[in-house]
A and B are shown apart, each in its own frame.
Chain A
Amino acid sequence: MNFDDTPQEAEFRAAARAWIAANAPKQYEDELRKSSLGRTVLKNANILEVAKAWQKKKADAGWACLHWPKEYGGRGSSPIERVIWQQEEGPFGQLSRMFIIGHGMCGPTMMAFAREEHKRTYLPPLASGEKVWCQLFSEPAGGSDVAGLRTRAEKDGDDWIINGQKIWTSGAHYSDYGILLTRTDPTVPKHKGLTMFFLDMKSPGVEVRPIKQASGASDFNEVYFTNVRIPDHQRLGEVGDGWNVSLTTLMNERSAIGAAVSTGFPELFEYCSSLMLDGGPAIEDRAVRSKLANWAVKASGLKYTSMRAISALSRGERPGPENSIGKLVAGSMIQDVATYALDLQGAAGVVSGPEDAELAGRFQAMLLRAPGTRVEGGTDEIMRNIIAERVLGLPGDIRVDKDVPFNKIPTRGR
């Protein structure tokens, strides 16, 4: 049992570290290090531009999308090298956030299902960050039940005509392309009538409207499709096989091993170390300590669970299912941590303006953003179902709409 790199890993780490030291945008390091959930901002720069520039620089030097094949803009690295890169990239990894969907989900789906000429055309600029991609799956009628989506695709000569609405599309407002899951046959059971495409987000008939979130910010969008034309060669997978194609996408989403999950604990520990409560530091208060200790062991438990998965990668094995707990644990934890950080301040905790609030309002921002983390990318309830069914082998939920033609499924509860 050890934390040591193998000689090859050490060599890779040294090379990555040296390149990052020489090339990273250090002027933003401090701000990026201090960013937390709900607050990743640069005071004097547009973060999208900074992120794109960093990604392009990495791509030019062969450090972008490490695990992708070289011909598509990657480096052909092993999974463990990808993890080592993330560890070395540290706070600058925050700048990869807007590429996560494109690199983690759209790219692998294109690689598995697109024509070779499309892969060679579209993947390199996706890897280099010159083009940003989004994923158009969720709909008002299909959240956790993605296969309940209603956006229609109808064949018209060599094209498909798209009509409908997507929602919760991260980054659609700055995306160039998207992968789109549609319904091509409403007369068969819901999982069987779906088809996947990719499209240019600038296509006529695509309208992006930002959603104002409960936090006040707008990270997500609604996307409307009105008679949007997509050529058939942009179809991914067979007609009617869209559900299986989407599983490839989602599996990639959940296999992001080693990606640090935000728990809020380091921020809270630091805050309690400096906060004075009734004449003494908060951290000396027995009740505060009890709270902190409970979160400390969750945070360390997640960290070492991730280390176990990374070890499996290092040995060339597939990691076990342990990593599926990360988002479930971190999501509700960061919400509780933020709530407690405000509680420690008493009435003053209510003040959230960056100019007046403690720590420029980072815990207030965290509190307001946290409900979203428990919903996005699979709700807490879906995550528990996944653990129960795939890890523990418990039966799937009883699905009353499984064998019913999609157009016969009720659309309203009352």
Chain B
Amino acid sequence: MNFDFSDDQKQLRDQARKFLTEKCSPKAVRVVLDGKAPYDKQLWKGLAEMGFLGVAIPEEFGGAGAGHLELCVIAEEMGRANAPVPFSSTVYLAAEALLIAGSDAQKKKWLPAIASGEAIGTLALFEGKGNPAPKNVKLTAANGVLNGVKKPVADGAIADFAVVAARTGSSGRESDISLFLVDLKAGGVEIKGLTNLDPTRGQAEITFKDYKAESLGAAGEGWSILTQVLDRAAVLCAFEQVGGADRALEMGRDYALDRIAFGRQIGSFQAIKHMLADMYVSATLARSNSYYGAWALSTNAAELPEAAAAARISATQAFQHCAKNNIQVHGGMGFTWEFDCHMYYRRANAMALGLGSLNYWEDQLIERMRKKNAA
């Protein structure tokens, strides 16, 4: 048994860490945080040159053709660095949707552009409050003509294309939903940036008015495709969250070693030690659940739906827990704009919502476990 990444994959992780340490310092993240750029274009270009954007895209579509395990180790490093680039929306959501459901022509058009860093993609699913559910998709598509409003759309203001979930029926079943592919730069849609919790990853509102779009996948298959995309993204996001949780824990640990109060390192007080130990526990549980998700994703196992939900919940909790208590360990300084703690706190809480709420995934996990037990 080897329930671990291979030496090559670990090497790739080291390579990604080295690259991101150099090119994605907290100072670089702050350029986007402070609103001076919508995302880090230089970093995006660098990620393309390193082959990271297309690591899981097959060679015939311009990628490295490595696989999802390789993407997982890179995702972890992206989370660790708090990278201010549209990686998750482009690589986990848009690219995966194309890989699952795209026609040959659609793949040929967009996947090489993703791998080379020329195209940013996203998924337009949500329409205001609510979790992923067919009934929450109200935007209509009549003969491919879209009408409705999507928000929030992650990285919507900088994206070149979007995969759009639309209602093509009213039977009350999942088959009412179909997917469409929209070139956002071709004009005809209205895009408005939204202020959000984590300015290092933008959110937008996209309005479609009588917009003619091409289909992605067969009509009525939209929900089934989306479910697969969300499961894959749940695992990949979990690795980002694990990377972020580990970094927040390290920041807290380092500060507890440096900071002196009452004549001693604050890390020598049990109140602080135990808080950090609990952060380590949740980060470790999340990592192990995520490894299982990675195994299921990379082997396309029947266990993927359950493994993805478990990874999602565990990693969401761990990142939120570590980011929150990292600020607590830092005391007042942790609550300043100057210290980096809040960047992880913002990212942790934004990521906790991006694929639907924690409660949604809890519900999904138990439903999936129950189905498996019944089978």
Stretch at the interface among B137-145, B184-192, B288-296, B331-339: B288-296
Q: Which of A293, A311, A325, A395 has the most CB of B within 10 A?
A: A293
What separation, in Å, do the CA atoms of A1 and B9 have in the docked complex?
A: 10
Q: Is the CB of B2 within 8 A of A397?
A: no
**Cβ-neighbour of B292 out of A283, A300, A328, A391 (below 8 A):** A300
B173 within 8 A of partner (CB): no
Q: Mark out the residues of chain A between 282 and 323 whose CB falls within 8 Å of any chain B CB in the assembled complex.
A: 283, 286, 289-290, 292-294, 296-298, 300-305, 307-308, 310-312, 314-315, 322
**Cβ-neighbour of A307 out of B267, B288, B294 (below 8 A):** B288
Q: Which of B288, B294, B362, B373 has the most CB of A within 10 A?
A: B288
What separation, in Å, do the CA atoms of A297 and B5 have in the docked complex?
A: 21
Q: Mark out the residues of chain B between 341 and 375 whose CB falls within 8 Å of any chain A CB in the assembled complex.
A: 359, 361-363, 365-367, 369-370, 373
Q: Is the CB of B281 within 8 A of A387?
A: yes
B contact face: mostly helix, strand, loop, or mixed: helix
B211 within 8 A of partner (CB): no
Q: Is the CB of A301 within 8 A of B280?
A: no
* B 242-278 binary contact with A (CB < 8 Å = 1; else 0): 0000000100010011000000110110101110111
Q: Is the CB of A300 within 8 A of B362?
A: no
Shortest C-beta distance, A96 to chain B (Å), equals 22
A398 within 8 A of partner (CB): yes
Q: Is the CB of B273 within 8 A of A389?
A: yes
Taking CB atoms, residues of chain B closer than 8 Å to A307 are 1, 3, 288
Q: Mark out the residues of chain A between 1 and 16 whose CB falls within 8 Å of any chain B CB in the assembled complex.
A: 1-5, 9
Given contacts A292-B366, A394-B256, contact A381 B2 (CB under 8 A): no
A329 within 8 A of partner (CB): yes
Q: Is the CB of A273 within 8 A of B281?
A: no
Which residue on A lies nearest to B363, using beta carbons? A289
Q: Is the CB of B285 within 8 A of A296?
A: no
What separation, in Å, do the CA atoms of A297 and B280 have in the docked complex?
A: 16
Q: Is the CB of B370 within 8 A of A273?
A: yes
Q: Is the CB of B362 within 8 A of A294?
A: yes
What separation, in Å, do the CA atoms of A1 and B369 have in the docked complex?
A: 23
Taking CB atoms, residues of chain A closer than 8 Å to B294 are 1
**Cβ-neighbour of B264 out of A300, A311, A398 (below 8 A):** A398
Taking CB atoms, residues of chain B closer than 8 Å to A383 are 277
Taking CB atoms, residues of chain B closer than 8 Å to A305 are 284-285, 288
Given contacts A293-B363, A392-B253, contact A314 B276 (CB under 8 A): no
B298 within 8 A of partner (CB): yes
Which residue on A lies nearest to B294, using beta carbons? A1
Q: Is the CB of A304 within 8 A of B288?
A: yes
What separation, in Å, do the CA atoms of A383 and B278 have in the docked complex?
A: 10
Q: Is the CB of A394 within 8 A of B298?
A: no
Which residue on B lies nearest to A389, using beta carbons? B273
What separation, in Å, do the CA atoms of A393 and B267 have in the docked complex?
A: 9
Q: Is the CB of A381 within 8 A of B270?
A: yes
Taking CB atoms, residues of chain A closer than 8 Å to B309 are 293
A86 within 8 A of partner (CB): no
Taking CB atoms, residues of chain B closer than 8 Å to A381 are 270, 274
A388 within 8 A of partner (CB): yes
A269 within 8 A of partner (CB): yes
Q: Is the CB of A308 within 8 A of B276?
A: no
**Cβ-neighbour of A325 out of B265, B272, B284 (below 8 A):** B284
What separation, in Å, do the CA atoms of A298 and B282 have in the docked complex?
A: 9
**Cβ-neighbour of B285 out of A273, A292, A302 (below 8 A):** A302
What separation, in Å, do the CA atoms of A308 and B292 have in the docked complex?
A: 10
Q: Is the CB of B313 within 8 A of A294?
A: yes
Q: Is the CB of B253 within 8 A of A393?
A: yes
Taking CB atoms, residues of chain B closer than 8 Å to A393 are 253, 257
A384 within 8 A of partner (CB): yes
Taking CB atoms, residues of chain B closer than 8 Å to A262 are none
Shortest C-beta distance, A257 to chain B (Å), equals 13
Taking CB atoms, residues of chain B closer than 8 Å to A328 are 281
Which residue on A lies nearest to B359, using beta carbons? A290
Taking CB atoms, residues of chain A closer than 8 Å to B292 are 300, 304
B286 within 8 A of partner (CB): yes
**Cβ-neighbour of A398 out of B268, B289, B298, B362 (below 8 A):** B268
Which residue on A lies nearest to B365, using beta carbons? A293
Shortest C-beta distance, B101 to chain A (Å), equals 26
Shortest C-beta distance, A220 to chain B (Å), equals 27
A248 within 8 A of partner (CB): no
Which residue on B lies nearest to A394, using beta carbons? B267
Q: Is the CB of A395 within 8 A of B267?
A: yes
Taking CB atoms, residues of chain A closer than 8 Å to B288 are 300-305, 307-308, 322
B6 within 8 A of partner (CB): yes
B179 within 8 A of partner (CB): no
B69 within 8 A of partner (CB): yes
Q: Is the CB of A387 within 8 A of B277?
A: yes
What separation, in Å, do the CA atoms of A162 and B298 have in the docked complex?
A: 61
* A 360-399 binary contact with B (CB < 8 Å = 1; else 0): 0000000000000000000001011101110111111110
Q: Is the CB of B4 within 8 A of A384?
A: no
Which residue on A lies nearest to B364, using beta carbons? A293
Taking CB atoms, residues of chain A closer than 8 Å to B367 are 289
Taking CB atoms, residues of chain B closer than 8 Å to A396 are 268
Shortest C-beta distance, B260 to chain A (Å), equals 11
**Cβ-neighbour of B278 out of A3, A312, A384 (below 8 A):** A384
Q: Is the CB of A283 within 8 A of B366?
A: yes
- Please report B residues at the A interface, Cβ cutoff 8 Å: 1-6, 69, 249, 253, 256-257, 264-265, 267-268, 270, 272-274, 276-278, 280-281, 284-286, 288-289, 291-292, 294-295, 298-299, 309-310, 313-314, 317, 359, 361-363, 365-367, 369-370, 373
- Please report A residues at the B interface, Cβ cutoff 8 Å: 1-5, 9, 269, 273, 283, 286, 289-290, 292-294, 296-298, 300-305, 307-308, 310-312, 314-315, 322, 325, 328-329, 381, 383-385, 387-389, 391-398
Given contacts A292-B366, A308-B288, 17 further A-B contacts (CB under 8 A): A269-B373, A293-B313, A293-B362, A297-B317, A298-B285, A300-B310, A301-B310, A303-B288, A305-B285, A314-B2, A384-B273, A385-B270, A392-B276, A393-B253, A394-B256, A394-B267, A398-B268
6 A-B pairs with least C-beta separation: A301-B285, A293-B362, A388-B273, A304-B288, A384-B277, A387-B277
Pairs across A and B, CB under 8 Å, 14 listed: A1-B4, A1-B5, A273-B373, A283-B366, A293-B363, A296-B369, A298-B285, A302-B288, A314-B2, A328-B281, A384-B273, A387-B281, A392-B273, A397-B270
